[in-house]
Structure 1
Amino acid sequence: MPNYNLNINNIQKSVDTDTDTPLLYVLRDYLELNGPKFGCGLAQCGSCMVLINGRATTTCMLPVSSIGQSKITTLEGLTGTTGKLHAVQEAFVKEQAAQCGYCLNGMVMAAVGLLNKNPSPNELEIKKALELNLCRCGAHSRIVRAVKIAANSFK
């Protein structure tokens, strides 16, 4: 099996696995990072999202062999070493923007990815950035409000 050296949450990790192993499985099964979730397995629900070079990306169908030297950030890596929540996480807590938690990882990662690219998005841009994430319990309005609040802290 090939060996992959991955930059995950600013830490170098080495993993021996098949070339077609999805990144999600590497993160969860090999590295025990449980922020990204298995949802649909078809890259259509967003539960498995991480940031790859700052951009929100689904991982359930993304082969680990395609990662190269990219910087991967999982939900666990958003807080860094200070133990303080990321502004998006704080806003989600403040707005109670989660119910069942199915979409939470993807919504947070998509929001951070958006704010990395555009720190002052309008409501339409927020909705567009979140559209790949399936929320089954209908917390959409609170989620959008949370992203708006987080955006204010990026200014």
Structure 2
Amino acid sequence: MQIQILLNEKKVTAQIAPDMLLIDFLREQGCNSVKRGCDTSNCGLCTVFVDDKPVLSCSLLAARADGHRVITLEGLQEEAEGFGAYIADEGAEQCGFCNPGLMMNGIAMFRENPDPTDEEIKEYLAGNLCRCSGYEGQLRGIRAYINYKKSQAEGGKI
């Protein structure tokens, strides 16, 4: 079957098998930030935006994305660059395997709630599995990034 997707702001038309998962389609298109971690929709590594909503690409048939806008971390480099630096500064990236999914969900959270509490951050990111950290570094990095964004909005004062 043929599908057409706006992938990272570029129109992509492809022939796919009807049972192809979106994660496999995206990786075939060179979107290597989309990771396979669990195949059970429990780890968050495969998170992408479909029409600006975070979606687990391992749980969605590529055919269901036909006619939709799909954004991966490759399509959010400018937005993700600053956020990623704060995660790295806190040593939260360790192996880095979970970072793309964490960053996608973090960006979705910032868009929905630019000033979440620590509890809201934990709740929003609960679906992101990291096998090497205790999540405290990620929480510190997210909090530091939020504080930076607030200081920028207030004219650079911290």
Verify same fold: TM over 0.5. Answer: yes
Tell me which moved more, 97-106 or 117-126. Answer: 97-106
- The one of 94, 98, 121 equivalent to 2:89 is 94
Structure 1 position 19 matched with structure 2 position 14: no
Which runs of structure 1 show a deviation greater than 6 angstroms over 4 or more consecutive aligned residues? Answer: none
Offset, 1:85: 4.9
Task: Quote how far apart the aligned CAs of 1:139 are.
Answer: 4.3
CA gap of 1:109–1:85, structure 2 versus 1, over 3 A, is closer
Work out the percentage of aligned pairs sharing the same amino acid: 28
Size of the aligned set, in residue pairs, is 150
Q: How does 1:32-51 map to 2 (within 5 A)?
A: 32-51=30-49
Residue 101 of structure 1 aligns to a residue whose secondary structure is coil
> Is the Cα–Cα contact under 8 Å of residues 80 and 107 in structure 2 kept in the other structure?
no
Distance 1:85 1:46, change over 3 A: closer
SS in 1 for 2:127: coil
1:12 deviates by 1.1
Inter-CA distance 20–113: structure 2 relative to 1 (3 Å threshold): same
SS at match of 1:35: coil
Higher helix share: 2
| Residue equivalent to 2:119 | 124
Given that residues 3 and 67 in structure 2 are in contact (C-alpha distance below 8 angstroms), is that contact kept between their aligned partners in structure 1? no
Q: 1:23–1:63: 8 Å Cα contact kept in structure 2?
A: yes
Which of the two has higher C-alpha Rg? Answer: 2
List aligned pairs for 1:1-155, cutoff 5 A. 2-28=1-27, 30-80=28-78, 85-152=80-147, 153=149, 155=153
Q: Give the AA of the match of 1:5.
A: Q
Per the normalisation by structure 2, the TM-score is 0.86
Q: Does the aligned pair in 2 maintain the 1:96–1:142 contact within 8 Å?
A: yes
Any stretches of 5+ residues in structure 1 without a counterpart? none
Aligned amino acid, residue 25 of structure 1: D
C-alpha deviation, 1:15, in angstroms: 1.6
Aligned-partner SS, 2:58: coil
User: Where in structure 2 are there 5+ consecutive unaligned residues?
Assistant: 154-158
